[in-house]
Structure 1
């Protein structure tokens, strides 16, 4: 389960490009070049380098879940049988309602962030997760309000 991740060395140009793209991935290369005082070709090469190094995983639109019918968000803490933990994670990964899976320390094996259309759908999902072979128990926290949720990563 442990994965060695090598940190990529970024200079101030790379950092600025990443800030701009995180605010708006559709920013034209010409605009980035103008802002940074470099050529468009340099911007293109820098972005390609960042993609190839895995710093930029993908370009995507950030969608408001409620506006597309995913009105219920919940956090589910799962306790799994250690010998079956890998199998449990594989089953959780297959579930489209599970948006984030965190392998954590402490009393729980994993923490999930899920999004569904209704409380009824949440109840079904909790039953489905509880029915996975190797899941000992779950604890669900229904999200009442989102105070802060940011997909951007601060680059120091």
Structure 2
């Protein structure tokens, strides 16, 4: 591993460890070691290092939103007043139904991914967003079906 201009340079072993963990974060170190032909201690140290330098942000379970009652997904474009944009972002971050917030260039100030329980719940969320001081307008795209959604990052 080496760092250059903010990007961490990973060797083939680090990349393979990351691929394995992204497929299943519960893969035992012994299994990773066996697959890669290295010791468990080496796997442990590399994962610890990848975590400490921020390449691995956290280990988490990926939950199917529909199976836990979040049946509605929407993408919302928000136009915000430039003078109040930072405060708008802080207010949006507080809303648990908003699962992703992107600062973007173009037509919108920010794009949001929202997971709601129902259409009525989505309407309430939109009302709450509209009430934030500095929000000038929103445009909502209701997701009909998910074609691809993959949290893994290609590490080649």
TM-score normalized by the length of structure 1:
0.97
CA drift at 1:9: 1.3
- C-alpha distance in 2, partners of 1:105/1:116? 26
2:106 equivalent in structure 1: 106
Q: Distance in 1 between matches of 2:102 and 2:133?
A: 19
2:71 match:
71
In the TM superposition, what is the alpha-carbon distance from 1:8 to its structure 2 partner? 0.8
Aligned equivalents of 2:9, 2:123: Cα separation in 1: 45
| Structure 1 segments (4+ residues) deviating >3 Å | none
SS of 1:99 mapped into structure 2: strand
Alpha-carbon distance between aligned partners in 1 of 2:26 and 2:123, rounded to the nearest angstrom: 38
Partner of 2:60: 60
1:14 paired residue number? 14
1:8 match: secondary structure: strand
> Structure 2: any 5+ residue segments left out of the alignment?
none
Deviation digits for residues 109-128 of structure 1 (CA, Å, limit 9, x no counterpart): 00000001000000000010
Shift of 1:107: 1.1
Structure 2 distance, partners of 1:68, 1:107, is: 33
Structure-2-length-normalised TM-score: 0.97
d(CA) in 2 for partners of 1:15, 1:110: 32
Residues 50-98 of structure 1, C-alpha deviations (whole Å, 9 max, x = no match): 0001000000000000000000000000000000000000000000000
Structure 1 spans left out of the alignment, 5+ residues: none
Cα distance in 1 for residues equivalent to 2:41 and 2:9: 21
